[in-house]
Every structure is written in structure tokens, then in C-alpha cells.
Structure 1
Amino acid sequence: MEPKIHTLFEPVTGTWQYVVADEKTKDAVIIDSVLDYDKETGKVSTHSADQILDLVADQGYTISKILETHAHADHLTASRYLQNVLAGRQQNAPRPEVCIGQRIRQVQETMSKIYGVPQSDLVDAFDHTFSDNETFAIGSIEARAVHLPGHTPDHLGYIIGSNVFTGDSIFNPDVGSARCDFPGGSATDLYTSMQKLLCLPGHFKLYTGHDYPPDSRDVPIGQHVDGSKAVPFTTVEAQARENKHAKLGTQMEDFVTWRSERDSGLAEPKLLAQAMQVNIRGGRLPTHSSEGFKLTEVPERVAKVVQAAL
């Protein structure tokens, strides 16, 4: 059975957010949501997440799970905000679970030391952590969590029908691949994960976590702030033929050498420190501002649900 897929593009961080539903039962999940944050001003807002909530309400969906593909380094997750708003709205349904892969513990251990996150903030940070190839239901549709390491060690993809929500394990063909220089990242692992995806049936659709499109695209699905267009997916067949970094026939040694050299010259993501501090907490903000994470304006509805205080 195939799900109904809704795509929402967040242009500031180039992130694709997804709502995936069983149209028959109206059960649905949210994948890789964004909590808006301005690093310069310290302002938190919920415009992107509220678009998701509006869509869910308009479609009459009941959200059972809020899924993360990995602990993102480039945006803050809106998972706890969404969870708490939905819990209040879905009166006759269980509270949605915030879920991620089981190897999040490795990322939490590493990043909590770097950013001084107390271990007490990590206890029960997520409601459920998936084991490799664990299955779960979206209404009458079976979904499966698959381990796709490389960009980060905890990285998952979600196979739902003939669709794979790949996060940052593969990008569209003209973008290619993600960096692998975060702690626990591995260009060798990423190559293996990408080839694993490229060996799926050719008609399967690979929905990416980001798109950074050139100005020449004219597909009016999503749009960057500069006016260029973004697309959420390509097929396995197209990726295998066209992915500029890892199409079928690409040798592992060549990919690893190129990716390692490329990563050595990259600056760190602009929201790395802030994203890590929120995302390893499962979507909860720190309790106060710090030198590395300015919080000057947090909406009351956010402060309440993610345990934030100025």
C-alpha cells in the first residue's frame, strides 16, 4: 500500500519536512520538522512547524509518531513543540511519540561533552529509539526503519511503501552527497549507505532531507529564498544513473578520497552548536541562554512545551 505524502520546504535551512499518511485510516507521521531560530537575534519562532499543524488539521490526520532521521546539525527540531500541541488536539488518541535511531546514544555521549549538556537532560530524551530494520505501522501501511550511517552514526531512513525518506544519506543527483566530518561520521559508511539505496527497485522514490538547487531548476514544488526551485525526491533509477558523487559504478576509493578532501575545507554549519544542544535533548531547549546559544525571544507556547526559560 502506498501512503499520501505531503512535502513542506523550509527555505532558510533548505530542509524538506514531510507528513506521510494512510489516507484510509487518517493515521500519519511527521518526518524531520524544523523549529525556526535566528542565531543573530536569538529569536525562536514556529512558522514552519505551524504550517505542519495547519496541514494536519486540514487533512484530519491523527499523528502517531514524529520521526527524526538523525540528530540534525543545521536546524533545530520542532518535535516536542509539535508533540505537545498535537497531544492537546488529539483528544482520543495517544500522545505522538518522538522517535529516532538507537545509535542516538553515541551522538548524545559525544555532543553532550562538547557542548556541556547535562546527562540529566538526556534521560528519556526520546520516546522510542528504533532498532535496525524495525517495523511500525502507519494505519494499515507498514513502515521500516533502516540504518544508513555515514553522515552521522545514528542516521536512519524510513521505507514506507515504495518511498524512502533518506534524510541526509543521499541528496538529489545534482547535489550528490552530504558531509561526513562530524564525530562518528564516515565517508566509507556513507558510500555503503548510498549504494544500498541505489540497489532498491528503480521505481522507488528517494525523498531527501535537503535540497540546494541551482537557479536553472523550474520545478514549482518548493523554493529557496533566492528564488531557485527545490524538489523533494528523485527515483532510484535516476539516482543510480545521475548522482554526481556516487552513481552506480563509482568506486568506493574514489568517493572516499573526494569526500574526505571536500569535507576538510568546509566550514561548520551555522547552527551546529544550537542544533546539537536541542536535538540531542529530543527537541527541548536549554533552560537558559549561554555564550554559544542566545535565547532572547521564545514564544510562551514554545517555552511551556519544550521546558525553555529565558
Structure 2
Amino acid sequence: MTYPVHMTTSPHVSAFFDEATNTISYIVSEPDGDHCAIIDSVMDIDYAAGRITFDSADALIAEIERRSLTLDWIIETHVHADHLSAAPYIQEKLGGKIGVGDKITVVQDAFGKVFNEGTDFQRDGSQFDALFKDGDTYQIGGMQGFAIATPGHTPACMVHVIGDACFVGDTLFMPDGGSARADFPGGDAGVLYDSIQKVLALPDEMRLFMCHDYGPNGRDIKWETTVAEEKAHNIHVGGGKSREEFIKFRNERDATLDMPKLIIPSLQVNMRAGELPVDKDGNEMLKVPLNQL
């Protein structure tokens, strides 16, 4: 298989674990330069109190400022259903372009209806600075990355390959964690299996960085593995499991799962590229649709 960029560069990757949502955000920087990208930032929310804070984002900002880096990109691997993006807050502080997969329009259309957003809510992805198509390349200083469309968990999921580092979003978890659910609107277990095969077709030594880890069976939180490890040991797709086996398992498992605790605020915010929705008077306000999810 051929790829649009060389994968011999080894970028510096700094991971930031958010305990409240089990999300890992990343700063990815040039090995010999001063440009960087952020992958999957987190905006903090006390949902019961209806209060937004920015401690997690401030930690990313502080690290970038400490290292005197220039932020080129703020990348969302998909429209997350379990945490809120801090992209606009970070952009205001540091600049950079906010990017997401071009199938964000499919997600916006589906959830625009769920949240009864009306005609004021644009469903064309214009809230983002860049909409990545499958195979698109982009620059982080002198370092090039590229996007691989990996739908199945959501229609807009994308994996980002930057040198020898691959940021998989929710497409895969650590080998003992398996894979993401595929029962959200627009999700599909068979499509997810096909997307996972794209990741497993990358070079064996490719470093894979997870968006989430839940410490299965009480182990310490981890977020980095390799293609070879996933192919050999992933409990959902490793060891040559067939597409049919995966679909049966994934559908049966998904039927037992509860909705993520932050799905209602997360979808409203993340389909807007991290901006908070407002009411007719301009007050920041979230909706709670009943019997829609």
C-alpha cells in the first residue's frame, strides 16, 4: 500500500490524560522544529452545576508556551460524544486552524434534527476552518500529516498519521480494550471493521495513540501501542477475527451499553467546533432532547 507522505519522521508526542472523561489529548510537535498540533482537546464541564472551566485546555496552552511552540492545527478526530472540545478557547489563545473530517456535515444534519436546531444552525461544516477528505495532507511546520477516513463509530471519524505516529480517535482502543461502539446514529459495525483494517494495514512499527483508555481489569491507564500489537492481541479484531465475527460481537455488545454521561452536551458543542450554543437572547444554553437518543 502507498501513502501520501513519508512516515520516517518521529514527532515528539506529549499526552495529557483527563480523568473525568478518560480522554487523552496530545501535543504533536516537530522533532527538530517549533511547530505543533493539538489532537482532541478537552473543555471541562460540571454538568450538574452547568459550569464550564478550562483547566485541561490551560495545561495544553501552558506546555506549548513553555516550549515556545507555534500551534498550526487543532484537530478533532471526530465529533466526540463523551467530552467537550476546547478548540475555540485554545484558538483564541494560540491561533491555529480547527480541522475535522468532511463528513461532519452528515453528523450535523443528524443531530441538528435531534436538538431541533432550526435553520440558524449551519450544517455545512463552516464552523470549522478545514474539512479533511480521505487522503488529505497538511503541514505542521516542515512536518506533513495525512488523514484517513475511518467511519463506523461515527460517519466523520478520521485517523491522523503524522510521521511514525498515528492518532486513532475512537476507531481502536488499547489491545485489551478492543474497539469503539458502533450504535450511534450513522454508526455501523461492518464499516467500523473495514476502517480498523485500514489502520492495521499501516506499518507494524507505527506508533498508535488512543483517544480513550479505561484501564480494563484495573490496569494502569495507557495510551500508546503499535500496529503489530493491535494485530496480534486486540481482543475485538486481533488474531485474524473475521468481519462477520466482529459485527455479531459488536452489535450484541453495543445493545448492552449505556449512553455516555456527557453525550447531550458533547454533541451540541462538538458539532459546532467547540462553540457553546446560545438561546435567542444570546445566553449560553444547552438543550436536553427527550427520548431522542
TM-score relative to the length of structure 2: 0.90
Deviation at 1:117, TM superposition (A): 2.4
Distance 2:225 2:33 in 1: 27
1:237 aligns with 2:225: no
1:152 aligns with 2:154: yes
Q: How many residues align?
A: 274
Q: What secondary structure is seen at the aligned counterpart in 2 of 1:237?
A: helix
Distance 2:168 2:48 in 1: 30
Q: What secondary structure is seen at the aligned counterpart in 1 of 2:73?
A: strand
- Give 1:1-310 correspondences, 5 Å limit: 1-87=9-95, 96-122=96-122, 124-214=126-216, 216-217=218-219, 229-287=220-278, 288-292=284-288
Deviation at 1:292, TM superposition (A): 2.0
Deviating beyond 6 angstroms after TM superposition, the runs of 4 or more aligned structure 1 residues are none
Amino acid at match of 2:61: L
Ranges in structure 2 where 5+ consecutive residues have no aligned partner? 1-8, 279-283
Q: What secondary structure is seen at the aligned counterpart in 1 of 2:245?
A: helix
Amino acid at match of 1:267: D
Deviation at 1:10, TM superposition (A): 0.6
1:118/1:63 CA distance change after superposition, 3 Å = farther
Ranges in structure 1 where 5+ consecutive residues have no aligned partner? 88-95, 218-228, 294-310
Residue by residue over 1:50-71, the C-alpha shift from the partner in whole angstroms, topping out at 9 and shown as x without a partner, is: 0000110111110011000000
Residue by residue over 1:161-209, the C-alpha shift from the partner in whole angstroms, topping out at 9 and shown as x without a partner, is: 1111000000001110110001110100111111221122111111011
Amino acid at match of 1:167: G
Distance 1:81 1:216 in 2: 34
TM-score relative to the length of structure 1: 0.85
Instruction: Check conservation: 2:16, 2:26, Cα contact below 8 A.
Output: yes
Instruction: Check conservation: 2:115, 2:287, Cα contact below 8 A.
Output: no
Deviation at 1:121, TM superposition (A): 3.4
Deviation at 1:291, TM superposition (A): 4.9
Q: What secondary structure is seen at the aligned counterpart in 1 of 2:26?
A: strand
CA-atom RMSD, angstroms?
1.4
Distance 1:290 1:29 in 2: 29
Instruction: Check conservation: 1:115, 1:273, Cα contact below 8 A.
Output: no
Amino acid at match of 2:111: M
Q: Which moved more, 1:125-134 or 1:282-291?
A: 282-291
Q: What secondary structure is seen at the aligned counterpart in 2 of 1:285?
A: coil
